[in-house]
């Protein structure tokens, strides 16, 4: 079974809340933080409804989930207080991950800030060795995430990640989380040469270390170094390429985690498109939403063709305009999905559908006509 799921929060009832939310999307895996990603405040592990959450996961058929380390951890910092906090707090998070029963904690390797990449790589490697030595009683792997190359972050190339791993003497528990948006933004051609990308990854790092996949589209072209996620199919990578990645023979058995943004006109009612994205990638939109769903998607194709709009060119042209023309962006900052949503509403189509339901159908529209058959 394809292990695919959503990025969810623990909220009031801990792991049980997370499992319940993931279930609403049809997830067969999911990813959590053990607390807020921007601070060190943590609830006691015995208040996180772990056993109840595991019981819910069992009814869902979820065998494997993933933990993400907080963003405040920076093992690349030259400042001793920040570095020591990163080491100590990551050790605490690994112990909590172990208590939950999860094998992989995803970590952004770190940033070198005022130093240079060589310093950052060495500092991160030293930090990882120190962290792992302090949690030898656990079996948790640290899954270093492939990064986009934004700012001074380390991990923007397979070479940098390989250097970190090679510098850690006891590196058996260092694994990799491959993020599609990040890797695309870092300059790897996931669209036309994903086999070549995997071959290079295997040669430099080893596919045996790849344990988690983050599946996200990108608001920017290859090599932009930006790290801006968008809904599957509504970005530069495109649904077809992302679907090939999810179903690639060499990636079978890994959990695929969606981190696509929440969307909607009102920030208070925004929702992610996880349910539609999961159903599309699983090839089960009819089973999830009913036969009328694809009929609605076909109507969208017919409507936009009447407006002389083709999805892929329209998406890329809109992103180019938003990126390149500050005056036009300020006058109309709407992203491709919102623009198409507004056209449908202005035409008076699908008035019986909620905003979320219409956005689900637009997500399916981005996947192309092949899903209709």
DSSP state string for 164-201: HHHH-SS-TTEEEEEEHHHHHHTT--TTT-HHHHHHHH
pTM: 0.97
Residue 328: per-residue pLDDT = 76
Q: Per-domain residue ranges for the chain?
A: 4-283, 287-371
Q: What is the average pLDDT score of the chain?
A: 96
Give the CATH architecture of domain 4-283.
Alpha-Beta Barrel (3.20)
Model confidence at 331, pLDDT cuts 50, 70, 90, reads confident
293 Cβ contact partners less than 8 Å away, ≥ 6 residues apart: 285, 286, 360, 361, 364
**H helical segments located in the chain:** 14-24, 50-60, 80-100, 117-134, 158-167, 180-185, 194-204, 239-246, 274-282, 285-289, 291-306, 311-324, 326-331, 336-347, 355-366
The response to whether 145 counts as a known ligand-binding position is yes
Interval 201-252: pLDDT, tens: 999 999 999 999 999 999 999 999 999 999 999 999 999 999 999 999 999 9
Is 227 annotated in some ligand binding site?
yes
pLDDT band at 303 (very low <50, low <70, confident <90, very high): very high
CB 69 within 8 A of CB 102: no
Is 137 annotated to bind ligand? no
Do 60 and 16 contact (CB within 8 A), yes or no? no
Average pLDDT over residues 122-140: 98
pLDDT at residue 325 is higher than 80: no
pLDDT, position 329: 80
Cβ pair 54, 88 in contact under 8 A:
no
Exposure string of 192-212, with b = 16+ CB inside 10 Å and e = fewer, is eebeebbeebeebbeeebbbb
Mean pLDDT, rounded, for 351-366:
98
**In the prediction, which pLDDT does 286 show?**
96
DSSP state of 235: S
How much of the chain exceeds pLDDT 90, in percent? Answer: 93
23 a known binding residue?
Answer: no
- Is-contact 121 164, C-beta < 8 A? yes
Does 338 appear as a known binding residue? no
Strand 66-68 versus strand 110-111 pairing type = unpaired
Dihedrals phi, psi of 153, to nearest 5 degrees: -65, 145
Instruction: Report the DSSP pairing between strands 217-218 and 229-230.
Output: antiparallel
Q: How many CB atoms lie within 10 A of CB 355?
A: 16
Find the helix or strand (DSSP H, E) in which 7 lies. Answer: strand 4-7
- Return the pLDDT at 326: 78
| Residues 122, 164: Cα–Cα separation, whole Å | 7
pLDDT at 152: 97
The pLDDT value recorded for residue 373 is 83
Q: Is 302 annotated as a binding residue?
A: no
Helix (H) or strand (E) holding 210: strand 210-215
- Listed in sequence order, the residues at least 6 apart from 125 whose beta carbon sits closer than 8 Å to its beta carbon are 163, 164, 165, 167, 168
For residues 296-300, average pLDDT: 98
């Amino acid at each position: 079974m394809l292990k695919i799921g959503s990025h969810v929060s623990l909220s009031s009832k801990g792991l049980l809340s997370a499992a319940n939310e993931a279930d609403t999307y049809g997830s067969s895996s999911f990813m959590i933080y053990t607390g807020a990603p921007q601070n060190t405040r943590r609830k006691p592990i015995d208040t996180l409804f772990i056993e109840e959450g595991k019981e819910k996961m069992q009814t869902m058929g979820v065998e494997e989930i993933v933990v993400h380390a907080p963003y405040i951890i920076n093992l690349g910092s030259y400042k001793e207080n920040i570095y020591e906090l990163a080491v100590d707090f990551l050790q605490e998070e690994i112990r909590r991950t172990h208590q939950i029963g999860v094998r992989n904690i995803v970590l952004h390797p770190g940033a070198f800030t005022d130093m240079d990449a060589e310093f950052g790589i060495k500092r991160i490697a030293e930090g990882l060795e120190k962290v792992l030595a302090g949690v030898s009683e656990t079996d948790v792997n640290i899954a270093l995430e492939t990064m986009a190359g934004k700012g001074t972050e380390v991990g923007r190339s397979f070479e940098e990640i390989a250097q970190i791993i090679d510098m850690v003497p006891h590196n058996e528990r260092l694994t990799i989380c491959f993020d599609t948006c990040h890797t695309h933004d870092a300059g790897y051609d996931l669209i036309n040469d994903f086999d070549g990308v995997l071959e290079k990854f295997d040669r430099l790092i080893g596919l045996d270390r790849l344990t988690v996949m983050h599946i996200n589209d990108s608001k920017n072209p290859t090599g932009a170094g930006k790290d801006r996620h968008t809904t599957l199919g509504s970005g530069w990578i495109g649904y077809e390429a992302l679907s090939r990645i999810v179903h690639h023979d060499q990636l079978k058995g890994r959990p695929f985690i969606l981190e696509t943004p929440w969307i909607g006109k009102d920030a208070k009612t925004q929702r992610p498109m996880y349910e539609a994205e999961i159903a599309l990638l699983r090839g089960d939109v009819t089973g999830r939403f009913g036969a009328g769903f694809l009929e609605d998607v076909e109507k969208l194709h017919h409507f936009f063709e009447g407006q002389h709009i083709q999805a892929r060119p329209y998406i890329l042209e809109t992103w180019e305009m938003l990126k390149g023309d500050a005056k036009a962006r300020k006058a109309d900052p709407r992203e491709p999905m919102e623009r198409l949503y507004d056209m449908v509403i202005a035409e008076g189509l699908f008035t019986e559908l909620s905003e979320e339901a219409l956005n689900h159908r637009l997500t399916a529209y981005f996947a192309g006509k092949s899903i209709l058959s």
